[in-house]
Amino acid sequence: MQNKRKKEMKEGKKRGAERTQIATRDEEWSDERLKTFLEVKPPEGMPADYNILLRAYRGMTADLFERFIAIYKEVGRDINVALEDGSTFLDLVSQHRKSTDYAAALEAAGGTKKTD
């Protein structure tokens, strides 16, 4: 019975173009909505400020991320928060070839790389 259910779930899963929910890119985001990202709790072992940046990076367009970074800094968050290995959030973003606008926003806000 359980194998049949798993098979049905797998067959019912939609991929790529089959997905029905369309991504929204032109949605208006208020400053209040951006500030909700400051309340995100980190998983154990991850610095809170790093987790906030990660969630914002994953959930925002580059323009929104740039607006968010100003709010992030305004409330006193650390733009150069580092993981245990010393790598900063800019180090992570710089590894992604389509993230140059995000990296530019971090750099403009004073973000540095571990290798700087």
For the chain, count helices (H), then strands (E): 6, 0
Q: What is the pLDDT of residue 34?
A: 94
For the chain, domain boundaries = 24-108
Q: What is the pTM of this model?
A: 0.77
Q: What is the pLDDT of residue 5?
A: 55
22-70 confidence digits (pLDDT tens): 555 667 889 999 999 999 999 999 999 999 999 999 999 999 999 999 9
62-114 confidence digits (pLDDT tens): 999 999 999 999 999 999 999 999 999 999 999 999 999 999 999 999 999 99
pLDDT above 90 for 12: no
> What burial class does residue 116 get, using C-beta atoms within 10 Å of its C-beta: 0-12 exposed, 13-18 middle, 19+ buried?
exposed
Q: What is the pLDDT of residue 103?
A: 97
Give the angle 62-31-82 at the CA atoms, nearest 5°.
55
Task: Give the C-alpha separation, 115 to 74, whole Å.
Answer: 26
